[in-house]
């Protein structure tokens, strides 16, 4: 899938034992810093080149500080390579400082067997063309990210775009790469962090930095749009849990994530 | 809180830079291995002795293999000590092999400020005396754990004890330490992993080993019983998400967790 922005911008090359180098570009910026999911994608790329299992089953990421556009080093330490799982720590380092540390377990999603019992439903969305189209970012949210990620919130959960608040802290919509890159397991953790904060539907906030993000990839997605639901049920004393589900175009749940984020006051 | 089983059995002593030693006892066994939450408690104890923030705000734990009763070493590496957060990796090592690796961020929960918006409700439970009392473990679930943890499922979600299945994959009840140890922030991640698997209410399963467990401690609990809710919404191909909420005796949400576990067939 060379040629797509996400693959170009998350590419890393080996630079010694357990070391990879790459470049964070400014195409994934939210405001003035790279989207945290994008930085995680670089880390997962490095792990994926190191271990023999193909898919990031679960990744727990602690954000230690904002990243920036420019050279990046990823250090990968394999904790275990087993029959069914490979587990590794990746550290994303810029200027000698770790900006993100993730523990991830890779597996072969196609090889999982056992019972299924699913009581979640995909969000009920009108077709993408009847959702709210991308708009040129306003000055308040000037961000390159809108040009690489095509997110179309359902009209029912899009009031925040016009500064209408007071709704439940839930946003639903369709999401895909703007350049037509098909979704894959490697990209799902990034896409779990690609929607606006669910709290936007409920209240005005300032910056919402992620402290910790854990993603579970539950299936290899079919090509096409992903249906997304993000919701916050527990904002307490300025700290918010946010859960995300991604459903593929065949209606299958392919990713779940939960993060803990800090809600900063509006500047 | 010396004298309580949990404090005695999670105690670690410094053994050089970033190293601690302790002993896993057999009092926290589920079947023939220590409960994963207990092993996590030992890891968090070591981090708590290393960093200056008092409470484990978020901990993401990847289980690499079962632990066993006996000597244990915990290696702690501090990733960042900031003003509001301290982040560290702890590795729980036995026989030269890491059994559990956790990344945790510690904070001062009492120092958090900002908005609150909570749309979750605590489980509606009859008083503990009207819930299902502890029973002597059957041969099938012979476990020391029942003697140190007092869990009382609500009658409505206790059918699995009599092998009634087919209910929603949700179990609710009261939980506390059996010896009267008050709950505290340090113990909440363990207590998030102290209930039976929610899937027991829905189907017969074999062993349910945790692959990954992330806990968010959201408040310092008041003394008394904790109300617990565990639920699985997404079991797919033998892999299950399980979410847990713990509410303190004052009705406040004090912990949330999500784990990914493998569902093994019944032997």
Model pLDDT, residue B76: 98
Average pLDDT over residues A225-242: 98
Q: Is A55 exposed, middle or buried (0-12, 13-18, 19+ CB in 10 A)?
A: buried
Rounded Cα distance between A189 and A249, Å, is 17
In terms of C-beta density within 10 A (0-12 exposed, 13-18 middle, 19 or more buried), how is residue B129 classed? exposed
List the single residue in A65, A85, A235 with the smallest CB-CB distance to B117: A235
- With an 8 Å Cβ cutoff, are B62 and A57 in contact? no
Residue keyed to tokens 């754990």? B145
Q: What is the DSSP string of B191-243?
A: HTT-SPPGGGGT---S---EEEEEEEE-SPPPSS-EEEEEE--EEETTEEEEE
Average pLDDT of the residues in B193-218: 95
Determine the distance in angstroms separating the CA of B70 from the nearest CA of chain A, rounded to an integer.
22
Q: What is the pTM of this model?
A: 0.96
Q: What is the pLDDT of residues A135-177, one digit of tens each?
A: 655 544 557 888 899 999 999 999 988 889 999 999 999 999 9
Of all residues in chain B, the percent with pLDDT exceeding 70 is 96
CA nearest neighbour of A116 among B263, B159, B170: B263
Residue B138 has pLDDT above 90, yes or no: no
* SS3 category, B148: helix
* Shortest CA gap A64–chain B (Å): 7
Q: Which residue in the set A98, A212, A214 is minimally distant from B79, CB to CB?
A: A98
Residues in A closer than 8 angstroms to B232, CB to CB, are: 117
Alpha carbon distance B220, B147 (integer Å): 25
Query: What span, in angstroms and rounded, lies between the C-alpha atoms of B258 and B247?
Result: 15
pLDDT at A134 over 70: no
Does the beta-carbon distance from B62 to A64 stay under 8 Å? no
Least confident of A253-267, B135-149, B204-218: B135-149
Mean pLDDT of A42-57: 98
Closest-CA residue in chain B for A168?
A: B119
pLDDT at A244: 98
C-alpha to C-alpha distance for A53 and A108, rounded to whole angstroms: 6
Task: State residue B83's pLDDT score.
Answer: 95
């Amino acid at each position: 899938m060379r040629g797509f922005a996400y693959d170009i911008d998350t590419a890393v090359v080996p630079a010694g034992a357990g070391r990879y180098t790459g470049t964070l570009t400014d195409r994934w910026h939210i405001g003035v810093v790279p989207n945290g999911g994008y930085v995680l994608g670089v880390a997962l790329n490095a792990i994926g080149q190191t271990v023999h299992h193909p898919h990031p089953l679960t990744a727990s990421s602690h954000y230690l500080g904002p990243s920036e556009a420019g050279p990046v080093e990823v250090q990968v330490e394999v904790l275990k390579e087993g029959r069914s799982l490979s587990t590794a720590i990746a550290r994303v380092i810029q200027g000698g400082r770790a900006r993100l540390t993730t523990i991830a377990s890779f597996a072969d999603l196609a090889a999982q067997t056992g019972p299924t019992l699913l009581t979640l439903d995909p969000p009920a969305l009108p077709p993408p063309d009847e959702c709210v189209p991308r708009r040129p970012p306003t000055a308040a949210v000037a961000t390159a990210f809108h040009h690489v990620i095509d997110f179309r919130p359902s009209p029912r959960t899009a009031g925040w775009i016009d500064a209408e608040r007071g709704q439940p802290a839930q946003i639903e919509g369709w999401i895909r790469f703007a350049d037509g890159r098909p979704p894959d397991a490697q990209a799902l953790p990034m896409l779990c962090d690609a929607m606006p904060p669910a709290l936007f539907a409920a209240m005005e906030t300032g910056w919402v930095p992620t402290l910790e993000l854990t993603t579970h990839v539950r299936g290899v997605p079919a090509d096409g749009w992903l249906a997304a639901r993000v919701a916050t049920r527990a904002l307490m004393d300025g700290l918010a849990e946010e859960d995300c589900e991604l459903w593929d175009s065949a209606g299958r749940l392919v990713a779940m994530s939960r993060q803990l984020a800090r809600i900063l006051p509006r500047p």
